[in-house]
Amino acid sequence: MPENTSRTSDEGADRDSGPVDESGASVILSDETGSFAWGVLAKRHPSLIQQVRDAFPYGRRQHAALDALLDEITNGVVEPLAPSAHDHGQWAEWGRGHFGRPWFDAPFLWAESYFYRRLLGAVEYFGTGPWQGVDPFAPFKQAELRTAVVDEELGALDALADVSADERATALLHASLWGNRADLGFRVTEGDPAPGDATDGLVADDAAVLWQLLPAGAGSTVAVVADNAGRELIPDLILIDHLLVHRHAKRVVLHVKPSPYYVSDAMTADVVDCLRRLTEAPGEAGRIGNRLWEAVATGHVEIRTHPFFCAPLSYAEMPDDLREEFAAVTLTILKGDLNYRRLVGDRMWDARTRFADLTAYFPGAVAALRTLKSDVIVGLEQKTLDALERSGRAWRTSGTHALVQVRRQT
Ligand SMILES: O=P(O)(O)OC[C@@]1(O)O[C@H](CO)[C@@H](O)[C@@H]1O
């Protein structure tokens, strides 16, 4: 059955059976057959188990654990982590009310996040044996870095050397934005999204505000919360280099995931792979790679991680230490679809709800750079929404549209 991925704002605001609180928008569940969320749990997750199984010479114990996980997510109920797991207590708390019930009844965000935690458990990522720390998604991430498309994308940087700083800034921001389409989880079931026209595909564009927040020479610190490795992280790194070279930022903190997540999410090892890929490239790409390598050594780029990045929670629930980090920077740039869902809340909002209102809790100015790959969307003008709905396309979920939304510090 095709995934039902396009709906009107009115349907969106009240169609789901998820809990509705004073926000008036229901939490997205996965229990409606044919919905996007249902498709992720019913199709994407089982395919992913198969892909991971095929990518490694796992032993009998891991195959049995993957079999059990597949059976549980398709026919069973949510089981807790083993009491011996290092994070058993944490997930017992986060999952209260969901254990013993069908996976499809849990909030979509929670179910996905817990699925990735369980997949890591099945392949013994957190164990003490030989598979400890072996990223089950590494083969997919590494294969992507070796493609000719990456060579082409890096080669295109040479042509940017001659354009004005403003044009270059826009081109690099768009490369980072549209790089978010290069999401291996998305491709487990969707295939490569058709390349749309980058400008026509923007449903909201606050890029001018983003640049206003980062005037050259102001000594700013920018936090970039990364999303996918490979073809998304490379343009993110190139944008970071641009921010530093053109003095939009004096320092950039790059936040990555502490463990494998949502298939291709970037971890420190992926930053290293991308930096190496850049430094080994000819021309401008190689120069950027060398500058970034040096910038890490001198502290102008700092790589950080936090367990919260793999938590099944909205940023509204972030812990105090992370809140203080974001409060201390000039601007936080959140990359990607999942970060957007966590920023505004994984709910069927009326698409015209103001982005600034939903992100008012965020400690400091915040920018979302995201291609649209799930039902959540806010901050649209009525006329934009009308045109999107008239198109009859699955614009919310197909990755053909994107947004730059910014909220200044309040
Ligand atoms: O955060 P990302 O990498 O941009 O997207 C994550 C994603 O692939 O995963 C979810 C479904 O599994 C959707 O939110 C989205 O399509």
Q: Whose CA is nearest to atom 8 of ligand 1?
A: 186
> What's the confidence (pLDDT) of residue 1?
33
User: What residues are in contact with ligand 1 under a 6 Å CB criterion?
Assistant: 40, 112, 180, 183, 185-186, 227-228, 262, 336-338, 341, 373-374
Tokens of 324: 């203080």
The torsion angles phi and psi of 370, rounded to 5 degrees, stand at -150, 135
Domain boundaries, the chain: 9-122, 138-407
Ligand 1 pocket test, candidate residues 28, 49, 186, 370, most atoms within 8 A of CB: 186
- pLDDT band at 403; cut points 50, 70, 90: very high
Q: Whose CA is nearest to atom 15 of ligand 1?
A: 373
- pLDDT band at 181; cut points 50, 70, 90: confident
The correct answer on CATH 3.40.50.10880 for the domain covering 138-407 is yes
Question: C-alpha dihedral over 353, 354, 355, 357, to 10 degrees?
Answer: -110
The correct answer on CATH 3.40.30.10 for the domain covering 9-122 is no
pLDDT at 20 over 80: no
Cβ atoms 169, 160 nearer than 8 A: no
- pLDDT band at 19; cut points 50, 70, 90: low
How many whole angstroms separate alpha carbon 251 and alpha carbon 35?
42
Q: Whose CA is nearest to atom 11 of ligand 1?
A: 40
Nearest-atom index, ligand 1, CA of 265: 3
Q: 370: CA distance to ligand 1 center in Å? A: 10
Tens-place pLDDT, residues 66-90 = 999 999 999 999 999 999 999 999 9
Domains 9-122 and 138-407 share a fold: no
pLDDT at 135 over 80: yes
The DSSP line for 66-127 is HHHHHHHHHHSBPPPPPTTSTTHHHHHHHTTTTTTSBGGGSBHHHHHHHHHHHHHHHTTTTS
Report the percent of the chain where pLDDT is more than 70: 91
* Weakest mean pLDDT among 104-108, 163-167, 363-367: 163-167
Ligand 1 pocket test, candidate residues 40, 73, 256, 338, most atoms within 8 A of CB: 338
How many whole angstroms separate alpha carbon 270 and alpha carbon 240?
16
pLDDT at 381 over 80: yes
> What's the confidence (pLDDT) of residue 314?
98
Q: 162: CA distance to ligand 1 center in Å? A: 35
Residue 61 backbone zone (phi > 0: left; psi -120 to 50: alpha; other: beta): alpha
Tens-place pLDDT, residues 255-266 = 999 999 999 999
Tens-place pLDDT, residues 24-62 = 899 999 999 999 999 999 999 999 999 999 999 999 999
Nearest-atom index, ligand 1, CA of 186: 8
pLDDT at 368 over 50: yes
Q: 283: CA distance to ligand 1 center in Å? A: 33
Nearest-atom index, ligand 1, CA of 339: 1
Q: Which of 167-181, 298-312, 385-399 has the highest mean predicted lDDT (pLDDT)?
A: 298-312
